[in-house]
Structure 1
Amino acid sequence: MRIADKFAELEKRKEKALIAYVCAGDPCAETTKEIVHALVKGGADIVELGLPFSDPVADGPTIQAASTRALKAGMNPDLYFEMASSIKESVPLVCMTYYNLIYKRGIEKFARDCAASGITGMIVPDLPAEESGELQEACRKNGVDLIFLVTPVTTGSRMEHILDMTSGFVYIVSRLGVTGERVDVAGSTSNILDRIHTNVPKAVGFGISNKEQAAEVIRAGADAVIVGSAFVNIIASGDKVNSRIEELASQLKESCR
């Protein structure tokens, strides 16, 4: 399913989107499929399926630890695409990974493998928009959205350039720093949402972990909330994972309605 189709469907229902992140292979590939099912059952509209990398520079301790667990369990790009192909949920899947893995596999091959395995979007936090031409062309040829990030310190001219290039949605980093749960929503969130003028859906991530924070971000003007570390912490606990994942997704989705 394409990301644009999902947002169009939600717009008809007057809902905003819940985008949920999990690290593929944490704790194992088969369990990841069950977790994705629980996320969708709870209400996730789009699932970011992280392809783990040894140096995830945009991620905080929670997702770093998940990446380490997944790599130790044997997750690699071949297994990742095989697992993605076996996920039969009716939501868009987005690959979140780092450029080293894409470059090593081959830019064209990586984009082609995404499309073949049902992945319709890609987020690459360590690839500047200005240096993304080759990957952007490969994504365009294979029908994969390439999603770029903007932050509270992105300049106006650079933001315009990024918004012209991004497709699917624009990933708004709500605060400086890395991913992870926070006790409050950054004050910069409203400011950056006010600065973004685009027809592409605006999705806010970094630091959102509960329904109150999700509701606050939606009220500020976001079209979607992105939640990752809160789900990954449940997975790390090993305690009633699927039911707790579904429950949290349901709570978060309620704030998007």
Structure 2
Amino acid sequence: MTKTLTEKISSNKEHPAIVTYIMGGDGGLDHLEEQLLFLEKSGVSAIEIGIPFSDPVADGPVIQLAGLRALKEQVSLEQILTKLASSTVQIPLIIMSYINPIFHLGIPKFVELLKNTPVKGLIIPDLPYEHQNLISPELERTDIALIPLVSLTSPKERLAEITKHAEGFIYAVTVNGTTGVRSEFDTHIDTHLAYLKSISPVPVLAGFGVSSIEHVEKFAHVCDGVIIGSKVVQMLHEKKTTELGDFLKKAANVRIEI
């Protein structure tokens, strides 16, 4: 069964899927729904919601600071999921959490809470592919996709194994490092993404460092869309919503020319 997230990401063949990242509770939990509705109105395909955690090993400085602001507000995973249960957002939501908060809450309870929300995807960056069975059995018979991350350094045999069973979309990490705005990418990134797209049964999205229309245009030539994180987090924090909305609408209207 094709999951809702895959269908949404694949629905527009002429334009790239734009997935935005925000930190849940940054600025206070009461603003979460307002942020989600704003991003939905800006034309994004899906929204990734980060769960604040004290040791975010994959996050760059912008997202780390956002997590610290949320932790200062004492925002928890359970509070975020409870808030999302009343969300009126129509596009798919994706939870991005390190495994520790999920274990602390309890995997069965976590998945049960997810079922009552618009969440259609789950990313756990510190859960290796070999250990995904810690949570995947709980997600069976749900519409929630466990989204794999793949790195630039993964050998082709591993890429083939990960993509073969992929759900939702492939999160293709475009750099060897943490999240954050960048001006340049590896010279082999286009070849890497094109190869992933050729073997993947689900869409391939490029993430980490995407921060300009030029980046969106670049990746639209070789994959199905992008994930934009640090730029969105920073602009929301600085309350540059008009500028951010214009940027996202322009990104969503980039034409795919593969």
**C-alpha deviation, 1:36, in angstroms:** 1.5
1:203 lines up with 2:202 in the alignment: no
TM-score, normalization by structure 2? 0.92
Q: Could you give the per-residue CA deviations for residues 215-252 of structure 1, whole angstroms, max 9, x where no partner exists?
A: 10111x11111000001111222x3x332331221122
In the alignment, which residue of structure 1 is the partner of 2:6?
A: 4
Supply the AA of the counterpart residue of 1:79.
Answer: Q
Supply the AA of the counterpart residue of 2:45.
Answer: D
In the alignment, which residue of structure 2 is the partner of 1:226?
A: 227
Gap change, CA 1:213 and 1:17, over 3 Å in 2: same
Supply the AA of the counterpart residue of 2:245.
Answer: E
**C-alpha deviation, 1:160, in angstroms:** 1.5
Is there any run of 5+ residues in structure 2 with no aligned partner, and where?
none
1:152 lines up with 2:184 in the alignment: no
**C-alpha deviation, 1:142, in angstroms:** 2.9
Number of aligned positions between the proteins: 252
In the alignment, which residue of structure 2 is the partner of 1:79?
A: 79
Most deviating of 98-107 and 188-197: 188-197
In the alignment, which residue of structure 2 is the partner of 1:172?
A: 172
Give 1 or 2: higher helix fraction.
1
Percent sequence identity over aligned pairs: 29
How many angstroms apart in 2 are the aligned matches of 1:145 and 1:133?
13
In the alignment, which residue of structure 1 is the partner of 2:236?
A: 235
Supply the AA of the counterpart residue of 2:212.
Answer: N
Gap change, CA 1:210 and 1:183, over 3 Å in 2: same
Q: Could you give the per-residue CA deviations for residues 106-165 of structure 1, whole angstroms, max 9, x where no partner exists?
A: 122212211212211000000001011131111123331000111110111111121123
Is there any run of 5+ residues in structure 1 with no aligned partner, and where?
none
In the alignment, which residue of structure 1 is the partner of 2:252?
A: 253
Most deviating of 171-180 and 157-166: 157-166
**C-alpha deviation, 1:9, in angstroms:** 2.5
Gap change, CA 1:145 and 1:159, over 3 Å in 2: same
CA-atom RMSD in angstroms:
1.6
In the alignment, which residue of structure 2 is the partner of 1:67?
A: 67
Secondary structure (helix, strand or coil) at the match of 1:142 reads coil
TM-score, normalization by structure 1? 0.93
Gap change, CA 1:256 and 1:66, over 3 Å in 2: farther
How many angstroms apart in 2 are the aligned matches of 1:141 and 1:193?
30
Secondary structure (helix, strand or coil) at the match of 2:84 reads helix
How many angstroms apart in 2 are the aligned matches of 1:234 and 1:16?
21
